[in-house]
Amino acid sequence: MRRRTFLALGMAAMACGCSGAVHQLPMASDGEVAAALAEVRSGGNGLQYRHASDDEVDETLRAVVDRVRGPALQVCHEIGAGVCNWQFRVSRDRRFNAAAWPHGLIVLNRGLVDYAANDEELAMVIAHEIAHQAANHVARGQRNQIIGAMIGAALLGAAGMAATHGQQGSAQTTRIAMDVGAQLGAHAGHLAYSKEQEREADYLAALILYRAGIDLEKARGVLLAMARSSHRTETTILDSHPVGPERLAAWDRAVAEIRASGGRLPPRA
């Protein structure tokens, strides 16, 4: 019952006019996804850990940020939709992760240096988070969650009121239903467009790297390693990111389009 309710809230959030990608994104074909899946399954290593020193982490991240910042600013100003003034913070967290936060804050875990095979892979991850800021995904995601929460509270609140009408404790039950609906709706509102925004962030990251003269094939290695580490092959409605093979195929399609266009932005959505 909870899953059916969540799916209904997700569909309602998607129908509410929430914000997704800023640009039209190329879609990988089933054949391209199948080829990517075969590559993932063909063997090879996933993410490999090595212990980097504090000085190496700071120096490496600073150098890679400096390398991509100029082309990223150019792309951000051309988009004209998001935040182009970024503040980078290094977290002591050793997990392979990074995140874009409100007001241009980008947090980079030190684990990025521990796991990345080369600077090109680091550049891909950093450019991906910059792309979230440039396309205003952070603010759009917050709006989607607010709208989803409102829809969820209304739907489950109405259902709770109808189910307990005339019964003792009806008001309390309705309030609880509204609270649960708001929580589920906020999560559904976030998921409704997060995968589309992740695809856009990958596309814009590839564009930034292309303009920076960074080897896109080496950068692609991080997506392949992540796909091999996850052992997942299919994206579901409850995923916030496209799963490995789908993401890898979308990257390849994006790179092909970027090269063919000479590094231009894709058309607006």
Question: pLDDT for 227-251, tens place per residue?
Answer: 999 988 765 544 456 779 999 999 9
Question: pLDDT for 185-198, tens place per residue?
Answer: 555 554 445 888 99
Which strands sit side by side in the sheet containing 105-109, from one edge to the other? 87-91, 105-109, 98-100
| pTM of the predicted protein model | 0.77
Domain limits for position 38: 25-261
The mean pLDDT value of the chain amounts to 84
134 found inside a domain: yes
Contacts of residue 82, defined as CB under 8 A and 6 or more positions apart, other chains included, come to: 76, 133, 134, 135, 136, 137, 139
Contacts of residue 145, defined as CB under 8 A and 6 or more positions apart, other chains included, come to: 186, 187, 189, 190
106 found inside a domain: yes
178 found inside a domain: yes
Instruction: Report the helix count and the strand count for the chain, using DSSP H and E.
Output: 9, 3
Predicted confidence (pLDDT) at residue 173 exceeds the cutoff of 90? no
Overall number of domains in the chain = 1
2 found inside a domain: no
5 found inside a domain: no
84 found inside a domain: yes
Q: Identify which of 129, 140, 145 has the alpha carbon closest to the alpha carbon of residue 91.
A: 129
pLDDT of residue 6: 44
14 found inside a domain: no
Contacts of residue 94, defined as CB under 8 A and 6 or more positions apart, other chains included, come to: 109, 110, 111, 114
122 found inside a domain: yes
